[in-house]
Amino acid sequence: MKYSDVVTVKNVVTTATAAGAVYLVAKTIMAGIKSPPYNPASLPLARLAVVHQTANVPVRDSGELRGLLLSLNPRLDVYAKKMILHGITRCVYLLDIEASACTYDDIILVASFLDDQDMGIKIQALNALKAFSGIWKFKTRIQELVPKILEMITNFWDNDVHVAGLRLLNGLQLPAQTHPLLKKLMPSLMDILQLGSPVAQMQVLMFLSMLAQKEALLYDIMNCQVQAEFMNLFQPSQPGNLLFEMLVFVERLSDGRLTTHYQSVNWQYNELSLHEVLFGEDSHLSDCLLSLIIHPEEQVQIQACRVILKLQQNESTEIAAASQTDSSLSSFLFDSIGNTTVAESRLTSEC
């Protein structure tokens, strides 16, 4: 077997043999040992404020939150509804005792404003539900709204709705009964990723990364149609946090491809599917990864190397399955990650 048949321009193993990549692979391993698991959910400033407050001064029930909930009425004008919902959000974050004393009827009341005709009121209602979702006893009740929130996100092309809705969904568990709806709405979620604002792209990437870990949804994500310009999302000029989330998404997809369940089926993909663009024969993913391992932001460098390692693992698995007797070839692919000289000597002997 010729070397050119195994290691091509788009083969990520070639990327990993670069001296810089070897160094960054070591950094990736050390970071994985020393660092806690990545948690994309940031602590709201309001929550920081209440932590500081409760650490120093006992919080008393002011009745402000209850007063706002009692004044919330669908007959109010648009401005009043927005201001009251905004006030409810603020109070839930800042007043733990009052927020915990709320009832399921309060959640139902706030959720009813998702059906308001005004887009701004919908957004404020989503923000208030996001605040309430931080209280454990309300999570299950709010999770029942997942289908309505998904429909809202995909039916309205509004970046603020996308951001508010996805922020809420990213803090919830998705019931299995929502999977058929998610499969139906996957193309719309992919449109937000490709065409939305950077903040909306960030939120939908975190959402898709969560979905990519569910076996029942992985193929539908992989086979989703994307635009020809999809790989522009990997351009080094993109914001570093967006690149990082994009690389996390690719890593989750790569992990899914390695599972026994996924490999047990001979999946068929459309020509412009996400799978073909990222992992197909004509993919330019390896070129993008090569440009990102020298990105100025370290978290992007390390995550790019993590993806390279996962792709190399997948490549080795596929080669082993295709030719179990060719042990020297498998050894060559493994050694090529850490020792370019050994790889070159094996190349000579193989040819």
Question: Tens digits of per-residue pLDDT, 188-236?
Answer: 999 999 999 999 999 999 999 999 999 999 999 999 999 989 999 999 9
User: Tokens standing for 249?
Assistant: 């998404």
Is pLDDT above 70 for 2? no
Q: Which of 25, 39, 44 is nearest to 209 (CA)?
A: 39
Q: Give mean pLDDT, residues 140-166.
A: 96
Is pLDDT above 70 for 186? yes
Cα–Cα distance, 282 to 154 (Å, whole number): 31
Report percent pLDDT > 90 for the chain.
65
161 touches 123 (CB < 8 A) = yes
User: Tokens standing for 113?
Assistant: 């404003």
Distances in Å between the Cα of 189 and the Cα atoms of 59, 158, 210, 276 are 41, 13, 13, 18
Q: Give tens-digit pLDDT for 89-146.
A: 999 999 999 999 999 999 999 999 999 999 999 999 999 999 999 999 999 999 999 9
Q: What is the mean pLDDT of the chain?
A: 81
Long-range contacts of 290-297 (CB under 8 A, 24+ apart): 290/15, 290/18, 291/234, 291/236, 292/234, 292/236, 292/243, 292/247, 293/15, 293/18, 293/20, 293/21, 293/24, 294/20, 295/236, 295/240, 295/243, 296/240, 297/240, 297/243, 297/244
Most confident of the ranges 122-126, 307-311, 324-328 = 122-126
Q: Give mean pLDDT, residues 283-312.
A: 93
Q: Give mean pLDDT, residues 263-289.
A: 92
Q: Give tens-digit pLDDT for 35-85.
A: 444 454 444 444 443 444 444 444 456 789 999 999 999 999 999 999 999
pLDDT band at 21 (very low <50, low <70, confident <90, very high): very low
pLDDT band at 252 (very low <50, low <70, confident <90, very high): very high
Return the pLDDT at 317: 63
Return the pLDDT at 296: 93
pLDDT band at 337 (very low <50, low <70, confident <90, very high): very low
Q: Give mean pLDDT, residues 16-26.
A: 47
pLDDT band at 310 (very low <50, low <70, confident <90, very high): confident
